[in-house]
Chain A
Amino acid sequence: MHVMHNMLFGFQVALQPVNLLYCLMGTLIGTMVGVLPGLGPAAAIALLLPTTFQASPVSATIMLAGIYYGAMYGGSTTSILVNIPGEAASVVTCLDGYQMALKGRAGPALGIAAFGSFIAGTFGVVALSVTGPILSGVALKFGPPEYFSMMIVGITVLTYLSSGSMVKALLMAATGLILGGVGVDTISGKYRFTYGIEVLTDGLGLVPVVMGLFGIAEVLENLEKEIKRDILSAHIDHLLPNLQDWKDSSGPIARGTILGFFLGLVPGGGAIIASFASYAMEKKLAKHPEEFGHGAIQGVAGPESANNSAASGNFIPLLTLGIPCNAVMAILLGALMIHGLQPGPLLMTRAPDLFWGTIVSMYIGNVMLLVLNLPLIGLWVKVLKIPYYLLYPLILLFCLIGSYSLNNNAAEVVIMLIFGVVGYLMRKFRYDGAPLILALVLGPMLEEAFRQSLMLSKGDFSIFVSRPLSLAFLITAVLLLVIPVVTQRKKLSTLEEE
């Protein structure tokens, strides 16, 4: 009953013309970003953040969210047509999607990807609206020690699941924490790590850092590789999957949806992992596993559903607890804070229009994506044909303008470029940027919770273990750190390389 009432309120907000427009823009931009290789949703959201300053926080969040789940849709298009994943969550779609396209079944592949995404996205949004209030209620009882321990779990899980070496991921997280400390210390009023550089006194901005690490670094990496793209010139028709396709795909879609949603809930989990897990699961369950890799429609339907429902699931920890579970959500958190909102359990009561409006807009956005994207596939293929020598200066220009217009400060542009070089080197030396971004956002919150806890307990560290919830979180974190050492876990990155 309560949920229905809230959903109706959400519809009132989301159906306002201006919000509908922002939703449409977000999903369209998102799809384009998903289509374009060399520009991921994290960089795109950071790029477009400054353009939302004119809008209300609700409209801004609706658009930024649209970019994220829109990118999940768009990513599949390039995977299927060009065998290049538009973004990381569509890597597995290449395996069977491109094979289907080679066999002249590009239409059904694109179709089932879109329908699967729609079904999964819709399920994710409904689940979000049901579980959100419950989680918020629990989180309201949290004090600083619980928050501290929960953030530790968040960072640990992300490092656990991030690609490559865990030691490097932990190192990145610690570095992010340190970078988050740059600027004035709010408690003592002392300057930390600023060395008389004026632009650093307010701290390192999230936007320049993200644009550098994800936008500029990506361009630099691609410049060196010189991507080659052969676009499938075959005519695409019969977008609607036939009855047999539906029969083959309904199971994978249903399983992918549920799996993806739960993986999306876990801090550190997300669309990329969900798509890999779904592919592996479908291959195990399939009657003819040998068809996988040779154009099995199950290998498209499952992962595409999983990454979309994971994208919805990702919003739950952010909107209810204020904990971002991946780099994109960390940027959204930063965006909300720039708009003067503090995500967390109080968000639902303090800004119900934002909370319910965003959730419902995601539902509407999913409908828009389904209706718009299938007819627009021709347009996206044209976008793909933009030559890279024109595309990369445009991406660079967007980054340059975006980082400047944040505070009208050229020094921030320099910071962004420096992080661009750092990000490029990190890619070369195989360090993952996601834990760094997460820790950079959480760092100041973590430190505050840490110090507040110690003030509460008058300096007694046992406060973190004497409160049952906090203790449970810390035990989880320790287990996550110990288990891989004991079991010599098989890294996700090895799965990726297979």
Chain B
Amino acid sequence: MGKADRISGLFWLLFGIIITIESHRLGLGTVHSPGPGFLFFYAGIFVSLMALIILVRAWGMRRGEETGETLFAGRNIRKLVYVLISVFLYAILMEWLGFLLVTLLLFVVILAVIEKKRWPVAVLTSIAVTGIAYLVFQTALKSQLPKGPFGF
């Protein structure tokens, strides 16, 4: 875990330092009446300290001990990125397009484009899933799903 720990350690060190500075800005108050940043100032310092330990350990590891593993070697990493982009777009578009349309789109994209199923199968499955989800959440559970510009 040498390389991975060096990367994550650096991230947490930065995170800890930022929190410490920001908490200081919020105001520490006094010991007698702790301010809004009091606890987080020390939490930030603690995070930085832990990150330093991780970094020191990772650097202390001899090269030979490192396994040759690469972190994102999976050949499915591209699929993962596509799925992520789709769901982020879902979140952004859901209040514009409405639940039905955006859900249908998401499933068609995942099944037909990302999973490369045949189009008729993908579209029919998507319609079924969207319909059932609507019935379960909107009709039965009375969730307030977003409506699109077309009234659905």
| A408 proximal to B (CB < 8 A) | yes
Knowing A188-B36, A192-B26, A401-B143, say if A394 contacts B115 (CB, 8 Å).
Answer: no
Q: Which of A161-187 contact B (CB under 8 A)?
A: 165, 167-168, 170-171, 174-175, 177-178, 181, 185, 187
Q: Which of B49-75 contact A (CB under 8 A)?
A: 50-51, 53-54, 57, 71-72, 74
Q: Which residue of A lies closest to B34 (CB)?
A: A451
Q: Which residue of A lies closest to B29 (CB)?
A: A188
Instruction: Tell me which of B1, B32, B36 contacts A454 (CB under 8 A).
Output: B32
Knowing A401-B137, A404-B146, say if A396 contacts B87 (CB, 8 Å).
Answer: yes
Contacting pair A220 B83 (CB below 8 A): yes
Q: Which residue of A lies closest to B73 (CB)?
A: A224
For B145, the chain A residues whose CB sits under 8 A away are 401, 404-405
Residues 191-212 of A, flagged 1 when their CB comes within 8 A of B and 0 if not, give 0110000000000000000000
Q: Which residue of A lies closest to B4 (CB)?
A: A429
Knowing A224-B74, A405-B137, say if A187 contacts B36 (CB, 8 Å).
Answer: yes
| A244 proximal to B (CB < 8 A) | no
Which of B91, B92, B142 gathers the greatest number of chain A CB atoms within 10 Å? B91
Knowing A401-B145, A428-B4, say if A224 contacts B80 (CB, 8 Å).
Answer: yes
Contacting pair B8 A410 (CB below 8 A): no
For A400, the chain B residues whose CB sits under 8 A away are 87, 90-91, 94
Instruction: Tell me which of A170, A225, A451, A459 contacts B50 (CB under 8 A).
Output: A170
For A392, the chain B residues whose CB sits under 8 A away are 83
Contacting pair A177 B36 (CB below 8 A): no
The distance in angstroms between the C-alpha atoms of A410 and B37, with both chains bound, is 29
For A459, the chain B residues whose CB sits under 8 A away are 30-33
Knowing A170-B50, A405-B145, A414-B91, say if A447 contacts B125 (CB, 8 Å).
Answer: no
Contacting pair A393 B90 (CB below 8 A): no
Q: Which of B126-141 contact A (CB under 8 A)?
A: 129, 133, 137, 141
Contacting pair B142 A54 (CB below 8 A): yes
For A394, the chain B residues whose CB sits under 8 A away are 129
The distance in angstroms between the C-alpha atoms of A205 and B143, with both chains bound, is 18
For B77, the chain A residues whose CB sits under 8 A away are 224
For B110, the chain A residues whose CB sits under 8 A away are 389, 393
Q: Which of A446-473 contact B (CB under 8 A)?
A: 446-447, 450-451, 454-455, 458-459, 461
Q: Which of B87-146 contact A (CB under 8 A)?
A: 87-88, 90-92, 94-95, 103, 106-107, 110-111, 115, 117, 125, 129, 133, 137, 141-146
A456 to nearest B CB, angstroms? Answer: 12
Contacting pair B36 A190 (CB below 8 A): yes
Contacting pair B19 A178 (CB below 8 A): yes
Contacting pair B43 A50 (CB below 8 A): no
| A230 proximal to B (CB < 8 A) | no
Q: Which residue of A lies closest to B53 (CB)?
A: A167
The distance in angstroms between the C-alpha atoms of A446 and B43, with both chains bound, is 13
Contacting pair A223 B90 (CB below 8 A): no
The distance in angstroms between the C-alpha atoms of A193 and B44, with both chains bound, is 13
Knowing A178-B43, A401-B137, A417-B91, say if A454 contacts B34 (CB, 8 Å).
Answer: yes
The distance in angstroms between the C-alpha atoms of A408 and B33, with both chains bound, is 38
Q: Which of B1-48 contact A (CB under 8 A)?
A: 1, 4-5, 7-8, 12, 15, 19, 22, 26-27, 30-37, 39-40, 43-44, 46-47
A330 to nearest B CB, angstroms? Answer: 18
Contacting pair A450 B40 (CB below 8 A): no
Q: Which residue of A lies closest to B45 (CB)?
A: A174
Residues 390-429 of A, flagged 1 when their CB comes within 8 A of B and 0 if not, give 1011101100110011001010011001000100000011
For A451, the chain B residues whose CB sits under 8 A away are 34
For B87, the chain A residues whose CB sits under 8 A away are 216, 396, 400, 417
B123 to nearest A CB, angstroms? Answer: 14
Instruction: Tell me which of B34, B74, B83 contacts A225 (CB under 8 A).
Output: B74
Q: Which residue of B lies closest to A186 (CB)?
A: B36
Instruction: Tell me which of A187, A410, A455 contacts B91 (CB under 8 A).
Output: A410
Contacting pair B143 A50 (CB below 8 A): yes
For B79, the chain A residues whose CB sits under 8 A away are 223-224
Contacting pair A171 B47 (CB below 8 A): yes
Knowing A177-B39, A397-B106, say if A458 contacts B32 (CB, 8 Å).
Answer: yes
The distance in angstroms between the C-alpha atoms of A190 and B7, with both chains bound, is 34
The distance in angstroms between the C-alpha atoms of A177 and B43, with both chains bound, is 7
The distance in angstroms between the C-alpha atoms of A188 and B39, with both chains bound, is 14
What are the nearest 3 A-B pairs in CB distance? A459-B32, A185-B36, A171-B50
**Chain B interface residues toward A at CB < 8 A:** 1, 4-5, 7-8, 12, 15, 19, 22, 26-27, 30-37, 39-40, 43-44, 46-47, 50-51, 53-54, 57, 71-72, 74, 76-77, 79-80, 83-84, 87-88, 90-92, 94-95, 103, 106-107, 110-111, 115, 117, 125, 129, 133, 137, 141-146
8 A-B contact pairs sorted by A residue (CB < 8 Å): A51-B143, A389-B110, A394-B129, A410-B92, A410-B94, A413-B90, A414-B91, A429-B8
**Chain A interface residues toward B at CB < 8 A:** 50-51, 54, 165, 167-168, 170-171, 174-175, 177-178, 181, 185, 187-188, 190, 192-193, 216, 219-220, 223-226, 389-390, 392-394, 396-397, 400-401, 404-405, 408, 410, 413-414, 417, 421, 428-431, 446-447, 450-451, 454-455, 458-459, 461
**Other contacts beyond A168-B54, A193-B22: 17, CB < 8 A:** A167-B53, A168-B50, A170-B50, A171-B47, A171-B51, A178-B19, A178-B47, A220-B83, A223-B83, A224-B79, A389-B111, A405-B137, A413-B91, A417-B88, A428-B4, A431-B8, A451-B34
